[in-house]
Chain A
Amino acid sequence: MPAFLDRLNASAKSGVHTVQEYATLAFKALRFVFARPFYAQDLVQQMDEIGVKSLGIVLLTGLFTGMVLALQSSVQLAQFGATMYIGRLVAGSMIRELGPVLAGLMVAGRVGSGIAAQIGSMRVTEQIDALNTLGTDPIKKLVTPRLLAALIMLPVLTVINDLVGIIGGNVIATLSVGVPAGVYWRTVWEQIISGGFTFRYLPNDFLQGLAKPFVFGGIIALTGCYFGLNTTGGTEGVGQATTRTVVTSSILILVVDYFLTQLMLSVLL
């Protein structure tokens, strides 16, 4: 076989192997959610680490995204004399796309890297082996609490992000564009109900906006844990694991977001 085919073969194999290991990790981590012993303390600690401590950056991201959305759309809408519809535009973009994606990307940078660095340094200092030796499954002790915490906290952060973004839009719409707050919030509500409802009371926009961060949370926690657990090569390896985690989870979030949107648009509409 030519050399380049050999290389192709090897890299394809390692690619498939990575996907397989990633899936196995996800499966095991999820299965342990329902198995004793439960590490409740670790879960609370991780919810604090992933959720509460990310609040600051999520608030800032949301506020400025909402503000810039209102500013930009006011220019576009002014051409059609439709500036009163700023609320619709801001709410639609925030709830469906920007809220989940931006919260996901920010948390991937802040939390994903932290997870990879912590678990990676535990790996290179043999603490993972020590856990195994002391009769604890490291996946159960380290991965499951982080995964669960991310699955719970990311939707919460996204809701906050959405809300702050829409409030930011309100500030700009009222102060610099001149749309009254009442009109702004009415158009926001029009946007939310215009997408239709699931189970009669749950707006489809909310469903879309909450399903995404749930998936992104899983991506962030699993990617961080995967690269952390597979760290090799001392402290340099920890650095590499951190970088790879942020790059991989960011790309995964953006790609998965597209396919999720495609899927949900075809199911919900």
Chain B
Amino acid sequence: MSDDEKKVVPQRREAEKREAEVRGAIREELSGDASDALIAHAGKEDAGAPVIEVDRVHLAFDDNVILDDVSLVAHQGETICVVGESGTGKSTTLKLILRLLVPDRGTVCIRGKDITKLSFNDALLVRQTMGMVFQGAALFDSMTVFENVAYPLREHTKMSEDEIEERVRQKLAFVDLDVDRVIDMSPAELSGGMRKRVGIARGMANDAEIMLYDEPTSGLDPLTTATITRLIMKLQKELKVTSVVVAHDIRSVFRMATRVALLHDRRIVFFGTPEEMTASEDKYIRDFLGGL
């Protein structure tokens, strides 16, 4: 066993133990009165400080209301999955967290700091602490895989070329890619699953503390979907990143989510653990989960 693995295993155990505790605590409280306030309280006590707080956000383009009174909290190390039908503003929620969009009302706080009122340049700084994985990976197709992953490092750090190369190789290896084979390829030569992995490697290149994924498994076969899901869980467990995942595939959602937010009709109609979601008697939730 290498030194790295020796370090990682106890961390993983610790994270798993904590996760089990959190879920246990919530389940206990659920046996009583399952009010939203109680769930939020349980989360705050057991899952570290809130990292992302979306508070009563309202967003409309002209007369078209996209989000109405939407609130979300992600604590340190949590994976929040945002699910819902197409066109309910799931990706928009991610763009609000990245401050690619500014809400009409309400606040979005990252580590307690309201980002809705930041200037454009300050917003660029906040974004550097976040890694975003886009639906189609959004790799820069005028650059090689290496240059793509190196981009945030060259842009924002004073690392030497050797350090950058080392970091890029490390990140590509972390996402289980054959480093020597892919490093000089152009994005067009990669398969869908590989593009997603490179996208994840680029998102985490700057050691991001917050990872946002926009439909990381859409358009992938079931096997690749499973490996990408595993990768997201690996990031959560080994690097303790806080993640928000917008997803369609309910099976992978239940595997990776610490909490699930269900968007319906511009609002969040459910925000809780996967266990609570499956136990829910609400008709819309039952319909949404379908055969499960």
Contacts and interface: CB of A to CB of B under 8 A. Distances in A.
Interface string A110-137: 0000000000001001110111111111
Interface in B116-157: 120, 124-125, 127-128, 130, 132, 134-136, 138-141, 151-152, 155-156
B40 interface: no
B94 to A, nearest CB: 10
A130 B134 contact: yes
Nearest to A121: B141
A125 B136 contact: yes
A136 B132 contact: no
A125 B127 CA distance: 19
Majority SS of interface residues in chain B?
mixed
B249 to A, nearest CB: 20
B108 interface: no
Contacts of B132: 129-130, 133
A135 B155 contact: yes
Contact of A136 (B138, B139, B155): B155
Interface residues of B, number: 22
A121 to B, nearest CB: 8
* Interface residue range, chain A: 10 to 19
A134 B127 contact: yes
Contacts, number: 50
A137 B155 CA distance: 11
Contacts of B141: 125, 127
A130 B149 CA distance: 12
B220 interface: no
Contact of B124 (A125, A127, A129, A137): A137
Given A132-B100, A133-B98, A135-B155, A126 B135 contact: yes
Contact of B140 (A37, A127, A135): A127
Contacts of A136: 124, 155
B120 A135 contact: no
A265 B288 CA distance: 72
Contact of B156 (A126, A129, A135): A135
Given A133-B127, A134-B155, A135-B155, A126 B136 contact: yes
A130 B131 CA distance: 10
Contact of B138 (A37, A126, A137): A126
Interface in B64-107: 95, 98, 100
Given A129-B138, A132-B98, A136-B155, 16 more contacts: A125-B138, A126-B136, A127-B140, A127-B141, A129-B134, A130-B138, A131-B140, A133-B98, A133-B132, A134-B127, A134-B151, A134-B152, A134-B155, A134-B202, A135-B124, A135-B125
28 contacts: A122-B140, A126-B134, A126-B136, A126-B138, A127-B138, A127-B139, A127-B140, A129-B95, A129-B100, A129-B138, A130-B132, A130-B134, A130-B140, A131-B140, A132-B98, A132-B124, A132-B127, A133-B98, A133-B100, A133-B127, A133-B132, A134-B128, A134-B151, A134-B202, A135-B124, A135-B155, A135-B156, A136-B155
Interface of A: 37, 122, 125-127, 129-137
